[in-house]
Amino acid sequence: MNSTTTDSSPIVNQPLDYYNPQVEQRVQQWLASGQLLTWIPILNQENFPDVPQQILQFADQYQEAMRWPIHRPEDLLALPEGITGWLLPATASDTDVACVVWNGEIYILGVQDKRTGRKQTLLGKGADVPTDIGNQSAV
Torsion of CA 8, 14, 20, 24, to 10 degrees: -10
User: Phi and psi (nearest 5°) for 58?
Assistant: -65, -50
Rounded CA-CA distance 31/100 in Å is 16
Strand arrangement of the beta sheet that strand 85-89 belongs to: 4-6, 9-15, 132-138, 105-112, 97-102, 85-89, 37-41, 68-70
Could you report the per-residue pLDDT of 6-53, keeping only the tens digit for each?
344 444 444 444 557 788 889 999 999 999 999 999 998 889 999 999
Single pTM value for the model: 0.76
- Domain definitions of the chain by residue range: 4-138
8 A C-beta contact, residue 122 and residue 94: yes
> What pLDDT score was predicted for residue 52?
95
